[in-house]
Structure 1
Amino acid sequence: MTQDIKKRPAVLIVEDEPLLRMDAVDMIGDAGFRTYEAGTAAAAITIMETHSDIGILFTDIDMPGSMDGLQLAAHVHQGWPQVAIVIASGVVEIEKVGMPEGAMFFSKPYASSQVTRTLQDIADRQ
């Protein structure tokens, strides 16, 4: 692990579709970030509670369980206000009103380069 990767915040990737989650983990890991992954909001919250190095949440909106990605984003924003939030969806058209303040949104399919550039910009600001 290089010194640069150690300085960057880790990214928690929350996606219920295993292949999409695997692609996101590979994309973000290849961009030089440590990653954690979860398939549900409940699992994501458990990871947030146990890993203090997470600085970015990258979440899908449409997920099974009692909490969708927007609710997860609001929960993380409230409990960990220092964590940057990036939301992606291929099903839901979202308005800024439904997202926590400062959150970013990408429509699926998204350009990998655009997402990784955004994550790098966030990391540079943290």
Structure 2
Amino acid sequence: MTQSLDPARYAVLIVEDDALVRAEAVDLCEEAGFTAYEARNADQAIRLLERHSDIRVLFTDVEMPGTMDGLKLARGVRDRWPPVAIIMTSGRIKVEASDMPENGLFFAKPYPPKGIIKALNEIATQLHT
């Protein structure tokens, strides 16, 4: 018997310091069927990752206040939680593939909602196989 794809079994951690942008990202992730956790900075994100083993996607802004930016957070997540998929976004910084962790995705702001949902659905499919 095959299991049906249920993205709600997986969570997305949204790391964004702008409350409005963060709320919109939460809505997008929930629309795609995922559970969504939110953090304002990398330090909060690490604490949530330590507490919630269902987080399988990191969706982070590059520029944010705190002890590390989104690139450093993404590299740390890749080292400590290798199965977590990484989606990065920025309105001012163009992130090159060489700057990103392996298999990371980048979307420039304002990012296309359909593009994010498509990427999340593809990640959910990969998690399911």
The two structures share one fold, judged by TM-score above 0.5: yes
Determine the structure 2 residue equivalent to 1:86: 87
Match of 1:58 in 2: 59
1:76 alignment partner AA: V
**TM-score, with length taken from structure 2:** 0.92
The answer for the alignment partner of 1:74 in structure 2 is 75
Offset at 1:27? 1.2
**In the alignment, residue 4 of structure 1 is paired with which amino acid?**
D
Q: Gaps (5+ residues) in structure 1?
A: none
Show the 5 A alignment for 1:1-126: 4-7=6-9, 9-126=10-127
SS of residue matched to 1:58: strand
If the length of structure 1 is used for normalisation, what is the TM-score? 0.94
2:29–2:36 contact (8 Å) kept in structure 1:
yes
Please report how far the alpha carbon of residue 30 of structure 1 lies from its aligned counterpart in structure 2 after TM superposition.
Answer: 1.4
Q: In 1, distance between residues paired with 2:112 and 2:8?
A: 25
Instruction: For 1:16, give the aligned amino acid.
Output: D
Q: Is the partner of 2:68 in helix, strand or coil?
A: coil
The 4+ residue runs of structure 1 with deviation greater than 2 A are 3-7
Q: 1:4 deviation in Å?
A: 2.4
Deviation at 1:5, TM superposition (A): 4.2
What CA distance in whole angstroms lies between the structure 2 residues aligned with 1:6 and 1:27? 13
How many pairs does the alignment contain? Answer: 123
What are structure 2's unaligned runs of at least 5 residues? none
RMSD value over aligned CA atoms?
A: 1.1
- Over residues 78-114 of structure 1, what are the superposed CA-to-partner deviations in whole Å (9 max), with x where a residue is unaligned? 0000000000111101111110011000000111001
Counterpart CA distance in 2 for 1:102 and 1:12 is: 17
Identity %: 49
Please tell me whether the aligned partners of residues 7 and 124 of structure 2 are also in contact (alpha carbons under 8 angstroms): no
